[in-house]
Amino acid sequence: MATKKFGLNTEPHEALVGAHRLLFKPEVLGTEFLDCYDRLQVTIRQLRSETDDPAETDTAAARQSTIATRIFLASLMLPESARQFVRWDVMVDGSTTSTYHDPEEAQQAAAEIPGAEVHDVGLQFPDRIFVDLTEWVAELYGGGRPPTSSGGSAPASPTPGRRGKGTSRSRA
């Protein structure tokens, strides 16, 4: 009888970004990671398709892409880290009336209050940090391979029959 032991991470993964310590979930179900990653990819594809000329840089789309990446990363963090990482305050006359972790919810709340504005008060980093964090969590939770690859796929079957010994005309 063969026995194989599998370990589970119980300690959070830690990312140090400057003076900030971000804690990520020790383990996530494969589907949880893939669902979060899929939502990110859908958002980015939608933003790209809204641009008439792909060569044209749309700053609003780039901004939305960064927000989508931040929300993706926060979804894999422990709650205390996620709360500081993504946060939008609804403010009236310099006072915070409410706080949201989704920018659309914050916009909806602000629309109901005369003179209200939404302020992004979450952590702000250069885009390269968001890219590096995204790649890092893909390694952590995606098994070290990009989420789009199928690690469980079988290799291609060999073609039936025997291989001929003739030379191909295309090689001649």
Q: What is the pLDDT of residue 47?
A: 78
Report CA-CA distances (Å) from 32 to 125, 126, 147. Answer: 25, 26, 12
Whose structure tokens read 């589970």?
8
The answer on pLDDT for 93 being more than 80 is: yes
Query: HEC string of 99-148?
Result: EECCHHHHHHHHHCCCCCEEEECCCCCCHHHHHHHHHHHHHHHCCCCCCC
Residue 26: pLDDT band by 50, 70, 90 thresholds?
very high
Residue 51: pLDDT band by 50, 70, 90 thresholds?
low
Tokens of 101: 């972790």
Residue 156: pLDDT band by 50, 70, 90 thresholds?
very low
pLDDT tens sequence across 119-146: 999 999 999 999 999 999 999 998 765 5
Contact (Cβ atoms closer than 8 angstroms) between residue 24 and residue 32: no
Q: What is the pLDDT of residue 59?
A: 80
DSSP state, 171?
A: G
Q: What is the pLDDT of residue 109?
A: 96
